[in-house]
Structure 1
């Protein structure tokens, strides 16, 4: 029965919306509470959901951004991610952001910064510790998380600082995707003379919070070179980075394995949880470069 369930879930992932609906339906409702639709940017109608583990007090906080080519998706599609993080004792914040074509770069990164700033100010009321904050994302959401961790201007404009982040987790993120050739992406990130500003790799300055970059060799949507190239750039700059490359892992399956019915198919959640728990204990960071490099790890 379990194998049949896994096979069905995996097949449903071929249709993204249907896949997340199935995963959310099979997600347990016990062990946590959810504060839904908390407004963090009323002017733009942006809201977030907060998943708090039962009995949480001073827990690490993870602000998660979903993927969808910067043009589709909703926090409501990722209950399974909120539950997964809460199951490991973390307060999960799932935030919406404005989508193309209603907005263009860097509006969605600015939205992400506002969500982080809101959480820093209020998360202690939901069992989280604002001194133990992480950003995390999948695909386009990993791009947003990386921009917040690597380019300090976004969080500073929102009234906080990347020095207040304990770390960033990226799942199958686009970090180094020049040249941009797809017409919609050229419009989204244009004009061409500013394309470089959209690439996280160009902001590797050695002062980043620790990064955990996770990717699959079988990813045909976002090539694994994005993760390898960013890891190399950050390490060469003297920044903290850890990279896990799975020999067999597709673009959608890497986030889907966080869901309860698929959790036994990989150790992605274990890897994320170990990183967050370890880095949450780090001493407060200064703006001086952290001289630390970690080689690419192959499981």
Structure 2
């Protein structure tokens, strides 16, 4: 009888744990699974919820290698996706660990989401976060002369607009010239007319829709771009990245595109986490791009 009670308690505990796990957002589930596996142990959370916008209360996390050197390290600001309506910096700790373990200072900022904001609110927040990084990352061991941007899906859109359209950083007294390069995963860059509920919500009310499209801000002096997508991505089709690459190259700029076979929209981000790195060399390819330009 005693063993039956113990087994029942264990089963209830497992059921409760399972319910809690599936109740978490997808990226948080990925982070939990990532932490179960060994690896990336040489990264640490250096700063948690540093406020970069006092008025809005928006914060950022900073990840670093555990073995910090006396020399300033290159910096990556990563902006998460989620259709401009979901996501949180704490859910993407696996990305901070992965890149910090490769020798980078990694900044993960939050930004306003729908329905709290629409275009261009999330770009204004992203620009403020980058301006804070440029002004303050030196105090945390980062090199403000070597700042890269990265993002996935909606986050890839945000970083691409900061890199291509000069007005967003210009409003913060900064220039896109401070960006050393951009590594973007499965980003939407040419998606007008707005035909999804997500894009209608976040962009549909803006009076000049052409100003929302990254492909309309192509310029030869843009930072180097590393664009990627999975060939099974039906949510943000690979043509977005291919079109942007082609236009940048036609203008005389620097852009490359990598397409991963049998990878869909979510799997390209999953491949950054330890349990799924066998799916595609996304992390290695991103880091190789950063290394070439740092």
State the TM-score bracket (shorter-chain normalisation): 0.7 to 0.9
Q: 2:55 aligns with which of 23, 27, 43?
A: 43
Q: Aligned residue for 1:270? A: 284
Moved over 4 A (4+): none
CA distance in 2, matches of 1:192, 1:131: 34
**Structure 2 equivalent of residue 55 of structure 1:** 68
Post-superposition shift, 1:44? 0.6
Structure 1, residues 91-133: CA drift from partner, whole Å, max 9, x if none?
A: 1000000001111101101111111110111111212100000
- Does the alignment pair 1:213 with 2:227? yes
Q: Secondary structure at the match of 1:223?
A: coil
Question: What secondary structure, in the 3-state scheme, does the structure 2 residue paired with 1:148 have?
Answer: helix
Gaps of 5+ in 2: 1-21
Q: Equivalents in 2 of 1:147, 1:235: separation in Å?
A: 17
Q: How many Å separate the matches in 2 of 1:182 and 1:40?
A: 32
Counterpart of 1:259 in structure 2 is 273
CA 1:106–1:232 in 2, change beyond 3 Å: closer, same or farther? same
Q: CA RMSD, aligned part only?
A: 1.7
Pick aligned residue for 1:176 from 167, 185, 190 = 190
> Do the aligned residues in 2 keep the contact of 1:142 with 1:171 (CA within 8 Å)?
yes
TM-score by length of 1: 0.85
Deviations along 1:137-165, whole A, 9 cap, x unmatched? 00000000100011011111112111111
- Show the 5 A alignment for 1:225-236: 225-236=239-250
How far the C-alpha of 1:73 sits from its partner, in A, is: 0.5
Larger radius of gyration: 2
Report if aligned partners of 2:119, 2:206 keep a CA contact under 8 Å in 1.
Answer: no
Moved more, 31-40 or 137-146: 31-40
TM-score of the aligned structures, taking structure 2 as reference length:
0.86
